[in-house]
Structure 1
Amino acid sequence: MRAKAVLIAVVSVLALGSVSCASPDEQGAGTRLDEVGKRGELRVCSTGDYRPFTYRDPATGAWSGIDLDMAGDLAKRLGVRMTIVPTTWKTLVDDFRRGCDIAVGGVSITLERARHAFYTKAYVVDGKTPITRCENVGRFQTLEQIDKPGVRAIVNPGGTNEQFARANLKQATVVGHPDNNTIFEEIEAGRVDLMITDAAETRWQAKLRPALCSVHPEKPFTFSEKAYLVPLGDVVFQQWVDQWLNLALHDGTYERIAKPWLG
């Protein structure tokens, strides 16, 4: 009886092992890698309001940016067309889960988003830092200098910028502005004093607008990384996209795409 019980246990372990080692296709589960190929389309969620990573021209509707070009390269490697699905920072995760294969455009890694989607490997290290009129750079070096009555800090709603500002600014006035494409005009015009956003964006906007200066972008207030969102649980697709991204970061693809934007 003891020998029989041992034999049954061994057979059970082997059976379980064979199931756990099976690929998704062998288990009858599909992967987005196959779905995208069969569909002939890569659906890409992006906000279109965060240069240099994503931008949608309000006049023409044309899309551009580092991450849009990267998504185009990904679609090409997959042998499919790219379709851009417009979204907002407030609805990014919900829109992604409903109808996209990947979300791009300077998406910061957060634990809350990681509840609902996988991230690829990070491709940019970043953090929150101020951007202000150049004559005010000395006034806004620290959070203590910023968080004072009378200081007006502008935010775009729904993303990590608003979360950071509302968590750290208790005395300063936090001003919401719905359009991230025009938000920096408010600083230029002096209607607000500054914005705290990702260092990469402050560098780009300072390059675009000579009246504005990025405040210590090399030493931001926080540490964050940017990556792409892919479907939760689909390890096959995540690993394939990770390998594509790893190659792009080392074979000159990312550098070639980013250079026109970053110099």
Structure 2
Amino acid sequence: MRRTIRFLASLLAVLGLTVGLSACGNPSLAAQDVLQADRKSQTMTWGVRADIRLFGLLDTRDNQIKGFEIDLAKAITKQILGPKGRAKFVQVTSATRMPMLENGDVDAIMATVTKTPERAKMVAFSSTYFNAGQSLLVKKGSSIKNIHDLNAQHGTILGVVGANSVEKALAIAPQAKGLQLTDYAQAMTALKSGQGQALTTDNGILYGLSLQNPGYVVTGGTFVAEPYGIAMAKQQQPLKRAVDQALVTLRQDGEYQRLINKWFHNVKGFDYEEAAHQ
């Protein structure tokens, strides 16, 4: 019996040592320095949208994602890693972007993520790189002119899963109803089919949708501030500092303004000064 007990104790000790050595040899993602790893690989992995015109949209002609956020991510990458630095892009949605960051599938997320106190508890945000505001997209000639009309008419507000736009709109228009779809393509289809009277999200996204769908217009002004920030894991403070410094440099040398002009110059009613405000 004593031999059996001694054998089990020895076995448990060996197993504990093995687990300890394994943990030391393969630290968890939370303990890794992403900035240091990126500098070694000369690659930074970004979570981006591929379904939002102007910010990040997949071009089916060459299978490349293109937009303001894509170009800005490339510029930040080169600021941090040098001229040979490479930006790698991974497609995310409103619903998947935070889990993918938490799982370590991406180093940082630049995907029209609004900086909110609730999200700031979970992730580290960069300084604001685009100052958006929540608005409405409606069919031309619609009786819906603002969020209060939706409330008065008990209308249905469309949005996407993973964003918080519908919840914010319903807080202002409690008599309205909300319907959330998987992505903006489905939300736009729902708007066209009459499942809702208005689609709500940040005005930057809505401007892109209005360009794609000429029969629809942005209306109602902005009823909620929606500042966009680059999201990183809480513990990755060296990366956050590097990203913030890169944004400062890009603003100072004019590259940021050049990219804003490149992507939004033909958007009717676009306020450059407001969008660029930090």
Encode CA deviations 1:198-254: one digit per residue, 9 max, x unaligned. 12222232233321111144xx11122111112313322211111111111232212
Q: TM-score, normalised by structure 1?
A: 0.78
**Alignment equivalent of 1:35, drawn from 37, 40, 43:** 37
Structure 1 unaligned residues grouped into runs of 5+: 1-28
- The aligned amino acid for 1:135 is G
| Cα displacement (A) at 1:37 | 0.8
| Matched-pair contact (CA < 8 Å) for 1:134–1:213 | yes
Q: Give 1:95-134 correspondences, 5 Å limit.
A: 95-98=100-103, 99-134=105-140
1:64 — aligned with what? 66
Structure 2 unaligned residues grouped into runs of 5+: 1-30, 266-278
| Cα displacement (A) at 1:110 | 1.4
- The aligned amino acid for 1:174 is G
How many angstroms apart in 2 are the aligned matches of 1:201 and 1:51?
A: 7
2:24 — aligned with what? none
| Matched-pair contact (CA < 8 Å) for 2:210–2:217 | yes
| Matched-pair contact (CA < 8 Å) for 2:159–2:179 | yes
Q: TM-score, normalised by structure 2?
A: 0.74
Root-mean-square deviation (CA, aligned residues, Å) is: 2.3
- The aligned amino acid for 1:171 is Q
Which secondary structure state, in structure 2, belongs to the residue aligned with residue 158 of structure 1? coil
Q: Give 1:21-170 correspondences, 5 Å limit.
A: 31-57=33-59, 61-77=63-79, 78=81, 79-98=84-103, 99-136=105-142, 139-141=144-146, 143-148=147-152, 151-170=155-174
| Matched-pair contact (CA < 8 Å) for 2:109–2:230 | yes
- Structure 1, 91-100 or 167-176: larger mean CA deviation: 167-176
Percent of aligned pairs with the same amino acid: 19
Encode CA deviations 1:45-100: one digit per residue, 9 max, x unaligned. 12322332122346864211111111112222313222212222112111012221
Which secondary structure state, in structure 2, belongs to the residue aligned with residue 127 of structure 1? strand
2:256 — aligned with what? 254
**Alignment equivalent of 1:213, drawn from 209, 217, 220:** 217
